Structure 1
Amino acid sequence: MAYSFDFSSVLSGDHLHWLIDGLILTLELTVCCWLLAFAWAVVLLILRNSTFKPAEWFVAAFVEVHQNIPLLVQVLFWYFAMPEFFPEAIRTWINERNSEFILAMFAVAFCMSAYMSEALRSGMRAIPHTQYEAGRVLGFGYLRTMRYIVLPQAIKHAIPPLLNYSLLLFKNTSIAMAIGVHELTYQSREIENDTFRTFETFAVVTVIYMAISFLIMMAGAAYERRQLVPTR
C-alpha cells in the first residue's frame, strides 16, 4: 500500500504554532550565542596575543578543551555539573529564568568562541607588523591598538571562517534539545510523537533549517563583497 503524504497535520493548528515557537526560540538562541561567542572570542584573542604568559596558556588550554570535547558533552556538563559551582544566589536566579536556555547558551557560545578566536587569530597573522608600530607612534597602548587598528583589519580577513562558524553555531543550537530547550528540533520531535507523521515533520524542519542556512550564507557573502569594495 502506497504511503499517503499529509502535511496538513504538521502545518496547521497547534502543530504550526509549535513550529513557529520553536523557530523563534532557535533564532533567539542563535543570536544570543553568537553575540556571547564573538565577544568572548575577542577577549581570548587579546589575551593570547598579550605578553602575559599565564593568559596565553589559559587561552591555549581553553581552545584545546572546547575544540576536542563533543558539544553534546559540553552542553550536558553545563546543565548537570556547572550549576553546582555557582553560588546559591546565582543558581536560584538562573533556575527562575529558564535555566535550560541560559546554560545551553553558555555551552554553545563558549564552544564556538574557541573556533572564532582561532579564526580571528588567523586573520591577525595577515596584518603587517608595521600596523602595531603605527599604533605605538600614535601613542596607543596595547588595548587601544588592538581596538582601533588591529581588530578591524583582523575581522575583515577572518570573514570567511567566521561565516562558516556562524552557520555551524546556528545548526549546533539543535543540540540544546538534549536538556529540554524547546527549540525547533525539540518541537519537531513533539509534533512527530503527536501525529506519527515522521517524514512530513522532519521534511518541513529540514526545509526550514536549509532556508535559514542559505540566508546566513547569502548575508555573509554580501557582507564580504561589501568589505572587499575598495574605498575612494
Structure 2
Amino acid sequence: MNYHWDWLFFFQEADDGLKYYEWIISGMGWTVAVSLGALAVALLLGSVLGVMRTTPSRLLVAIGDTYVDVFRNVPLIVQLFMWFFVIPEFLPEKLGLWVKQELPYLVTAIIGLGLYTAARIAEQVKSGINALARGQRFAGLALGFTEWQTYRYVRLPMAYRIVLPAITSEAMNIFKNSAVTYAVGILELYFQYKQIIEKTSQVLEITIVVTAIYFGLAFAMNRVLAFIEKRSAVPGLITGGKGGH
C-alpha cells in the first residue's frame, strides 16, 4: 500500500484560519451538545410514553403505541428531513418562516433525534414497569397514593433500575446516531470528518482519530451510567443479569 502517513497535518491551517485539530474539537463539541440534548428529550418523553402504555386507559395506550410504531419504523434521517423541511410548511406562515429562518438548527436536530430515541426509551420503560410485581401498585394505592403517584414514587423508580442497562445502550447509541445530523447542516464530528478528508485526503489518520473519539464518547457514557446503576442498585432486585444477595 503506497500511502503517505502524515499525523502532523492536524496542525496545518485550514482555509478558515483554524487548524484541522480545531475542526475536530469543534465537531466533537457539537456532537456532545446534540447527543446530550436529544438524550434529555428522549428520557423525558420516553418515560411519559412508557407510562401511558401501561395505564388502564385504552386511549393513552393507543396513543403511546401509535407513537412508538411510527417513530421506530421510519429511518432517522427521513425524520430529520421531515422536521427540517416538511413540517415548517404545514405551520402557520409566520411560525413556519421563524422555524426555517430563526430557530437554530441545533434545536431542530436535538428535537428530531430526541423524538426518534424516545420511541426506543418508551419500549424500555414499558418493559421495566411490566416486570414489576403487581403488588407494588396495590401497595401504593393502599397507602393512599393516586394512580399517578404510584408511578412517580413506587413503580418508575424501580422500573428504571431494571431497565438501566438497556437505557445505557440507547444512551451510547445516541452518540453514534448523532452523525446523521450532518445531513441537515449540523457541523458535528462526522461533518468535520468528511470536510477534512475532502481538504487533505489523509483518510486513514482522520478515520482513526474520529473512530477513537466516537468510542471514547460512548464508553464515557457507559461508565457514567454503570456508576449510577451500581449506586442505585436495590439489594435483592435483579438488574442487568445480576442478582442481589
Q: Which TM-score bucket, shorter chain as reference? A: over 0.9
Output the CA distance in 1 between the equivalents of 2:47 and 2:222.
22
| Residue 103 (str. 1) matches residue 108 (str. 2) | yes
Letter in 2 for 1:10: F
Alignment identity in percent? Answer: 30
Using the TM superposition, give the Cα deviation of residue 50 of structure 1 relative to its aligned residue in structure 2, in angstroms: 2.3
Q: Is the 8 A contact 1:10 1:191 kept in 2?
A: no
Q: 1:12 to 1:155 in 2, by over 3 A?
A: farther
Q: Which residue, out of 31, 37, 40, partners 1:32?
A: 37
| Residue 114 (str. 1) matches residue 100 (str. 2) | no
If asked which structure has higher relative contact order (CA below 8 Å, sep 6+), I would say 1
What is the aligned residue count?
230
Output the CA distance in 1 between the equivalents of 2:176 and 2:58.
35
Using the TM superposition, give the Cα deviation of residue 17 of structure 1 relative to its aligned residue in structure 2, in angstroms: 1.4
Map of 2:92 onto structure 1: 87
Map of 1:10 onto structure 2: 10
Question: Which runs of at least 4 in structure 1 moved beyond 6 Å after TM superposition?
Answer: none
Q: Which residue, out of 16, 19, 24, partners 2:24?
A: 19
Decide which moves more: 201-210 or 215-224. Answer: 215-224
| Residue 55 (str. 1) matches residue 60 (str. 2) | yes
Deviations 1:95-126 (A, max 9, x none): 3232x222221111111111101101111122
Structure 1: tracts of 5 or more residues without a match = none
Q: TM-score when scaled to structure 1? A: 0.92
Using the TM superposition, give the Cα deviation of residue 45 of structure 1 relative to its aligned residue in structure 2, in angstroms: 1.7
Output the CA distance in 1 between the equivalents of 2:94 and 2:156.
37
Output the CA distance in 2 between the equivalents of 1:146 and 1:166.
23
Map of 2:47 onto structure 1: 42
Structure 2: tracts of 5 or more residues without a match = 237-245
Using the TM superposition, give the Cα deviation of residue 11 of structure 1 relative to its aligned residue in structure 2, in angstroms: 4.6
Map of 2:83 onto structure 1: 78
The alignment partner of 1:69 has SS state of coil
Q: Is the 8 A contact 2:51 2:126 kept in 1?
A: no
The alignment partner of 1:5 has SS state of coil
Output the CA distance in 1 between the equivalents of 2:148 and 2:23.
46
Using the TM superposition, give the Cα deviation of residue 46 of structure 1 relative to its aligned residue in structure 2, in angstroms: 2.3
Q: Is the 8 A contact 1:25 1:183 kept in 2?
A: yes
Using the TM superposition, give the Cα deviation of residue 152 of structure 1 relative to its aligned residue in structure 2, in angstroms: 0.4
Letter in 2 for 1:224: E
Letter in 2 for 1:206: T
| Residue 146 (str. 1) matches residue 151 (str. 2) | yes
Decide which moves more: 11-20 or 162-171. Answer: 11-20
Output the CA distance in 1 between the equivalents of 2:186 and 2:118.
21
| Residue 181 (str. 1) matches residue 178 (str. 2) | no
Using the TM superposition, give the Cα deviation of residue 222 of structure 1 relative to its aligned residue in structure 2, in angstroms: 2.2
Output the CA distance in 2 between the equivalents of 1:90 and 1:47.
30
Output the CA distance in 1 between the equivalents of 2:161 and 2:37.
22
Decide which moves more: 88-97 or 42-51. Answer: 88-97
Deviations 1:45-86 (A, max 9, x none): 222222322221111111111111111111111111111233
Output the CA distance in 2 between the equivalents of 1:51 and 1:230.
30
Using the TM superposition, give the Cα deviation of residue 181 of structure 1 relative to its aligned residue in structure 2, in angstroms: 0.6
